[in-house]
Structure 1
Amino acid sequence: MRRVRYESTGGPLFLEEAPVPEPGPGELLLRCEAIGVTLPVVRKVTEAAEPIALGGEIAGRIMAVGSGVGRFRVGERVTGLCFGHGYADFAPVHETMASPVPDDADAVDAVALVRSGLVALGALSAARPEPDETALVTAAASGVGHLAVQLARTRGAARVVGAVSDPAKSDFVRALGADDVIVYGQDDWGASADYVLDAVGGDLLTPAVAALAPGGRLVAYSSGGGTVQAYDLIVGAKSVIGFQTARTARGEPELYERWRRELWRLHADGALKPSVHGRFALEDAAKAHAVIEGRENRGKVILVP
């Protein structure tokens, strides 16, 4: 089979021939139909001290199952998170991280909707949204962010504000349903948000906390790190909540499944529309990474073997 690999920090990425992996205990072996490209993986390629396996979101048909698998069978289609080599023709997914894909659903739509949607919906749920509140979503044009903008409205937000890195993304975010768009670097975001869903972290945490109304909540789910000053929270009785999808998938599988069903229902009803920025062949993985690195994407970036 083919897979994408690199040998030193920063790349370059290249295709190589590798043996088809055997599924381990509790694992499903998928023939990959679509692979999501994410900012955390791109960051690791450029920043990690040692090369990593290019894992992430994949969708495909189950070709083999490991010992102890009880929820899925060979031939079924699923989407899930691969912690090994996911940029490949075949890749393993643990069954606890897998969700079924409807027979009539496109694999690209499944990757764009389910994994990113689970992150967006989980972060939104962590914010404990109330009807008629104001939501602020950072990285609002990203694979997760563009779904979070739409989901905030389905959960009753009266006003949704999207924050982006480039004003050229404003029309895209407004078309998703955002009432206003702000651009990183503005001195005063002036959002008075009841909650912020933050996928960026780093230096952006300070203006994001400042944009919260008194009693507001910031949900942090980025891989970008960053520091929040305790005083900035105390004076406005604000709070910061950390969210990680994997923890829910492993610790609360029933909730994880309810979220998955809600995503497909909203998609079927037309209330949630995943956007795909581009589809790239495996051999063009470096081009897909460049789109993410350059913050060019409007929606999800996908590899299609």
Structure 2
Amino acid sequence: MLRMRHDIGGAGGGPGVLVAEHVDRPVAGPGEVVVRSEAIGVTLPTVRKVREGGGSVAFGGEVAGAVVATGAGVTGFAVGDRVTGLCFADAYAEYAALNTAMASHVPAGASAVDAVALVRSGLVARGAYEAARVEPGESVLITAAAGGVGTLAVQYARAAGAGRVVAAVSSAAKAGFVRGLGADRVVLYEDADWGAPYDVILDGVGGELLAPAVRALATGGRIVAFSSGGGTVEAYELLVRGASMIGFQMRAIATGKPELYDRWRRELWQLHAAGTLRPAVHELIPLAEAARAHAAIEDRRNLGKVVLVP
């Protein structure tokens, strides 16, 4: 099968070090299914890992397709089932091994592309919103609003009853796109105060944007950080606002609260069926051209999810 890997002999990081190779199909281990991939969602953490370089990189991502093999102890999944899930290693391949704890069935009538654009990103958006404990009528600002998670977070906040939904993006060229998702206002990262204050900020960027995000919080505000971008927050900035910062990780919910994880997944598909959540896909890119997919995200050109197709 075809698989993309990180060329550890290449100079530096970035998309240029992605190379294709042919390897054997994976074998389903205990609690795993092997899926013939129809669509693969590119995640920001993987793009950042490749950019950092310095060694072999595990290519994680969302995968959707048909089950071709099941491992020992697997229940609830059979050969031929259409599933989607998060693969933490070797997702950029024609076949991928998924742990069933991170897998779910794709409803009839839904495409594999819809699945990779909706489920994992939607779970993060849904979970971050829940972690913030948003009250009806509160104002919510969402960074990286034009990305895979951000596009769904804007729509979910609108549907969940937020009083004002504001999208923060890197370029004015994205303004019309995020307004079309339901944002009341669009601000740029370079703007002075982001139209502050906000009761809640859902941050998918991190890094240098954390400081202005905290300064944009209202008294008693909450910021939920769910990105892999790191960053530092001055405790004093939280103290003077009586504000709080919350870290959110989807994997902790999937492994620690599987019943909640399953309920959120069902809710996402219900909202999708009702037309409330519309996955946005930037482009379908051939698997062998994964470097182009990474470049789109690094250059902040993507409007929605970037998806690889074997």
Deviation of 1:193 (Å): 1.0
> Would you say the 8 A contact 1:161–1:191 is kept in 2?
no
Tell me what 2:79 maps to: 74
The correspondence of residues 85-164 of structure 1 with structure 2, limited to 5 A, is 85-164=90-169
The correspondence of residues 274-293 of structure 1 with structure 2, limited to 5 A, is 274-293=279-298
Q: Which runs of 4+ in 1 moved over 2 A?
A: none
> Would you say the 8 A contact 1:164–1:182 is kept in 2?
yes
SS of 1:144 mapped into structure 2: helix
SS of 2:148 mapped into structure 1: coil
Q: In the alignment, which of 251, 254, 268 is matched to residue 273 of structure 2?
A: 268
The correspondence of residues 94-243 of structure 1 with structure 2, limited to 5 A, is 94-243=99-248
SS of 2:96 mapped into structure 1: strand
Tell me what 1:4 maps to: 4
2:58 maps to 1:53: yes
2:25 maps to 1:20: yes
The whole-number CA distance in structure 2 between the counterparts of 1:238 and 1:6 is: 41
The whole-number CA distance in structure 2 between the counterparts of 1:239 and 1:188 is: 19
- In the superposition, the TM-score normalised over structure 2's length comes to 0.97
Deviation of 1:186 (Å): 1.5
The correspondence of residues 239-250 of structure 1 with structure 2, limited to 5 A, is 239-250=244-255
Q: In the alignment, which of 283, 294, 298 is matched to residue 299 of structure 2?
A: 294
The whole-number CA distance in structure 1 between the counterparts of 2:53 and 2:251 is: 21
Deviation of 1:77 (Å): 1.0
Letter in 1 for 2:4: V
Partner deviation per Cα, 1:25-61 (whole Å, 9 max, x = no partner): 1111000010001111011001042121312111111
Gapped runs of 5+ residues in structure 1?
A: none
The whole-number CA distance in structure 1 between the counterparts of 2:159 and 2:193 is: 27
> Would you say the 8 A contact 2:7–2:19 is kept in 1?
no
Paired residue total: 305
The whole-number CA distance in structure 2 between the counterparts of 1:267 and 1:192 is: 31
Letter in 1 for 2:203: D
Letter in 2 for 1:198: D
Partner deviation per Cα, 1:152-210 (whole Å, 9 max, x = no partner): 11111011000001111011011111011110122211221110000000110111111
Letter in 1 for 2:180: A
2:42 maps to 1:34: no
The whole-number CA distance in structure 2 between the counterparts of 1:94 and 1:22 is: 12
Q: CA RMSD in A?
A: 0.9
Partner deviation per Cα, 1:212-244 (whole Å, 9 max, x = no partner): 110000000010000111100111100000100
- In the superposition, the TM-score normalised over structure 1's length comes to 0.98
Deviation of 1:6 (Å): 2.2
Gapped runs of 5+ residues in structure 2?
A: none
Percent of aligned positions with the same letter in both sequences? 61
Deviation of 1:104 (Å): 1.4
Letter in 1 for 2:242: A
SS of 2:200 mapped into structure 1: strand
SS of 1:22 mapped into structure 2: coil
The whole-number CA distance in structure 1 between the counterparts of 2:49 and 2:72 is: 31
Deviation of 1:148 (Å): 0.2
SS of 2:17 mapped into structure 1: coil
Bigger drift between 134-143 and 185-194 goes to: 185-194
The whole-number CA distance in structure 1 between the counterparts of 2:94 and 2:121 is: 21
SS of 1:69 mapped into structure 2: coil
